[in-house]
Amino acid sequence: MIIAIDGPAAAGKGTLAKRLAVKLNFAYLDTGSLYRAVGLQMLRAGLDPSDALAAEAISSELDSSLFTDPDLRLETTASAASQVASIASVRVNLLNFQRNFAGKPPESKAGAVLDGRDIGTVVCPDASVKLYVTASAAVRARRRYDEIIARGDSAEYADVLADVEARDARDMGRIDAPLKPAEDAHLLDTSELDIDAVFSRVLAIIADQHLENSNDA
């Protein structure tokens, strides 16, 4: 069973996906970390994240040690990730990794939860459950700003909002695999819902879907 969770930056996908994976004992893949790893490696090598040839080469030999690097979470890395993500050859290089994970989850788990931008539309179009999690840009920027302050770093809310909006525009506007809900995705606006409310809604959706699938069988 594959659960696909897509949506814009800071909508709460990651928290939801991790919690679901624990509850269902499924494997979890944060696909954004793959794009972040490519972006971070480009920055560290002093390369421009829009350099398509360099990004293609780096993404063809992904350095998995970067997946746990604390710098993966920096806003500068997020922005570089969003830039390399619009390069078609980078997306092709990362596609196999994601499909293999979904098709054969590690530790022989019975299913996988993947979160990203194009999981329901491109990576796993046959996923059993597709969720599109969103919230207004103002709410998402506020959450991201609170996270930054909570970990002791400093930021201006207006700058965080501008970053969120720039990333939305790039992720939704790119030609290849743009961020959009799959036709059969369940839409969840978390602007006014807390994580517990979102989680119970999603469990109900999964239970319904499971029932539908067993009735079809």
Residues that bind ligand DC in the complex, under the rule CB under 6 A: 9, 31-32, 35-36, 78, 81-82, 85, 116-119, 167, 171
Q: How far is the CB of 101 from ligand DC (least distance, A)?
A: 12
Q: Collect contacts of 43-51 with beta carbons under 8 A, ≥24 apart.
A: 43/76, 43/77, 43/80, 49/79, 49/80, 49/83, 49/84, 50/83, 50/87
DSSP 8-state class, residue 175: S
Residue 115 makes CB contacts below 8 A (sequence gap 6+) with: 5, 6, 7, 13, 14, 16, 17, 29, 30, 31, 32
Q: How far is the CB of 57 from ligand DC (least distance, A)?
A: 18
In the complex, least distance from residue 192 CB atom to ligand DC, rounded to whole angstroms: 22
Give 14 or 189: the residue with its C-beta nearer to ligand DC.
14
Using a 10 angstrom Cβ sphere, with 0-12 exposed, 13-18 middle and 19 or more buried, the burial of residue 105 is: buried
Taking the complex as a whole, the smallest distance from the CB of residue 145 to ligand DC amounts, in Å, to 15
Residue number, 49 or 215, with CB nearest to ligand DC: 49
Closer residue to ligand DC in complex, CB, 70/216: 70
Pick the closer one to ligand DC by CB: 146 or 208: 146
